Amino acid sequence: MTLSHRAQRLEPSATLAAAAKAKKLKTEGFDILNLTLGEPDYMTPETIRKAAIKSIESGEASFYTPAAGIIELRQAVIERIRLDYGLSYDITEVAVTDGAKFALYALFQAIINAGDEVIIPTPYWVSYGEQVKLAEGKPVFVTATHEAKFKVTVDQLEKARTAQTKALILTSPSNPTGAIYSPDELEKIGNWAVSHNILIIADDIYGKLVYNGHTFTPMATISEAIRKQTVIINGVSKSYAMTGWRIGYVLGDEAIIQAIIKIASQSTSNCSAVSQYAALEALRGDQSCVEEMRQAFEQRLNVIYPKVSALPGVVLDKPEGAFYLFPNVAETMRLCGYTAIDQFVDDLLTEAQVAVVSGAGFGAPEHIRLSYASDLETLQQAIARLEEFIAIKQ
Ligand code: PLP
């Protein structure tokens, strides 16, 4: 049986593939330090776990839910956005999805026709381009340089714009760079998008994970015109240590949201009911767990950043948010005699037993991505191994 062209063209998720490789070696008995995955190392907070158990025992979680998600959870999302962003949304303008990842997938399915273009600032999160392609769209990559603090400008966007440009993805704080757009930068980009009727896809999933006095401004809060032009993507995975529960959400124009719900109704039916009850507690309950985890990530960043940036050849500015370091290692590779990033990453895994992700999957093949959502001891050991690896190769 030949596979569809769609499946043949699709790249597997670079981060999941790197994590799977690291896990496989670990089960074979290798002492791998895994810095590949973008997930908090914390267990989901107890109150959230208990709410899930309660929904199982009461029987509430036994049944299908509406495709858009249980009404209480949609209301909780609206309330959270009111509290965090100061914005009001109607119940018809919100949907709960199987992770933010499916929100994005369904969104592209809902808005893209064959040949429509989506502008994706690069470095980008691994799934954007592949998801656009799955919807028969064309990803248009615009490079956000290190000199520009990994942020794109309106001039660059204007050069990339064509009659087919349908949407722009804006991820702030960014995975993988940790860059955050300022209100002024957002306003310029937002007004540009409004004036050309380009949908802004604001992936706000790292919005609560900002450090050292940096602040996150959501694109949708800049002006009413920009809010109307924006679809907000978010979820509970990163802020509440709930990656395994698979709950995301999306807010925006009613017609788009209803199309997303229709797509979900014919594909997933609904997200796991028990996960929805857990997410309800996450969004409605005491928010102190979010701040506790944020502080822990901030502490880790402050400990490991100076060490990683001091590694021979590494070029790295301090990230402002998310939980990744994304150093440029071109010079490190040259010092160690490498020309290909994937070989460098492979040898780090098999020789230093440190698993990181090649920047190639993020559109930046001179970089590697290290997640610091691991405990400090693991991080420090990993850095010591990197130091040793470079010293041996040099
Ligand atoms: N968006 C970004 C930028 C991400 O880094 C991730 C996860 O790594 C997601 C979306 C998807 O998150 P989830 O599907 O777990 O909600």
Spacing, Cα 57 to ligand 1 middle (Å): 30
pLDDT of residue 16 exceeding 90: no
ipTM: 0.99
Instruction: List pLDDT tens digits, range 135-150.
Output: 999 999 999 999 999 9
The hierarchical CATH code for the domain 62-284 is 3.40.640.10
Task: Kindly state the tokens that stand for 88.
Answer: 């009001």
- Give one word for 99, left, alpha or beta, with left for phi > 0 and alpha for psi -120 to 50: left
Spacing, Cα 25 to ligand 1 middle (Å): 25
The pLDDT of residue 21: 85
Spacing, Cα 361 to ligand 1 middle (Å): 15
- Give one word for 312, left, alpha or beta, with left for phi > 0 and alpha for psi -120 to 50: beta
pLDDT of residue 19 exceeding 90: no
pTM of the model: 0.96
d(CA 387, CA 394): 11
Instruction: List pLDDT tens digits, range 219-248.
Output: 999 999 999 999 999 999 999 999 999 999
Spacing, Cα 234 to ligand 1 middle (Å): 8
Based on its alpha-carbon atoms, the radius of gyration of the chain, rounded to whole angstroms, reads: 21
CB distance 309 to 327 below 8 Å: yes
Q: Around 150, how many Cα atoms within 13 Å sit in the side-chain half-sphere?
A: 29
Question: Could you tell me the pLDDT band of residue 23, with boundaries at 50, 70 and 90?
Answer: confident
Instruction: List pLDDT tens digits, range 285-301.
Output: 999 999 999 999 999 99
Instruction: List pLDDT tens digits, range 166-196.
Output: 999 999 999 999 999 999 999 999 999 999 9
Of 36, 172, 237, the one to substitute when testing ligand 1's pocket (max ligand atoms within 8 A of C-beta) is 237
d(CA 102, CA 104): 5
The pLDDT of residue 207: 98
Residues with CB under 6 A from ligand 1: 38, 99-101, 125, 171, 175, 203, 205, 235, 237, 243, 248
Determine the atom of ligand 1 nearest the C-alpha atom of 236: 16
Spacing, Cα 101 to ligand 1 middle (Å): 6
Spacing, Cα 335 to ligand 1 middle (Å): 34
Mean local confidence (pLDDT), 90-100: 98
Determine the atom of ligand 1 nearest the C-alpha atom of 39: 8
Determine the atom of ligand 1 nearest the C-alpha atom of 101: 14
Question: Could you tell me the pLDDT band of residue 153, with boundaries at 50, 70 and 90?
Answer: very high
Q: Which residue owns the Cα nearest ligand 1 atom 5?
A: 175
Question: Could you tell me the pLDDT band of residue 14, with boundaries at 50, 70 and 90?
Answer: confident
- For residue 165, the SS3 value is strand
Q: DSSP string spanning 331-372? A: HHHHHHT---HHHHHHHIIIII-EE-EEGGGGT-TTBEEEE-
pLDDT of residue 18 exceeding 90: no
CA dihedral 387, 388, 393, 394 (to 10 degrees): 60
Choose which CATH entry (3.90.1150.10, 3.40.50.300, 3.40.190.10, 3.30.930.10) describes domain 5-44+288-393: 3.90.1150.10
Instruction: List pLDDT tens digits, range 357-379.
Output: 999 999 999 999 999 999 999 99
Residue appearing with tokens 């032009």: 229
Q: Is the dihedral of CA 22, 26, 32, 34 positive or negative?
A: positive
pLDDT of residue 20 exceeding 90: no
Question: Could you tell me the pLDDT band of residue 37, with boundaries at 50, 70 and 90?
Answer: confident
Determine the atom of ligand 1 nearest the C-alpha atom of 171: 3
pLDDT of residue 17 exceeding 90: no
Mean local confidence (pLDDT), 320-341: 96
Determine the atom of ligand 1 nearest the C-alpha atom of 235: 16
Spacing, Cα 256 to ligand 1 middle (Å): 20
Q: What are phi and psi of 235, to 5 degrees?
A: 180, 180
Instruction: List pLDDT tens digits, range 120-132.
Output: 999 999 999 999 9
**Average pLDDT score, the chain:** 96
Q: Which residue owns the Cα nearest ligand 1 atom 8?
A: 38
User: In terms of Cα–Cα distance, which of 241, 247, 234 is closest to 292?
Assistant: 241
Spacing, Cα 96 to ligand 1 middle (Å): 14
Q: What angle do CA 16, 176, 319 make, to 5 degrees?
A: 140
The pLDDT of residue 364: 96
Task: Name the residue ranges covered by the structural domains of the chain.
Answer: 5-44+288-393, 62-284
pLDDT of residue 268 exceeding 90: yes
Domains 5-44+288-393 and 62-284 alike in fold: no
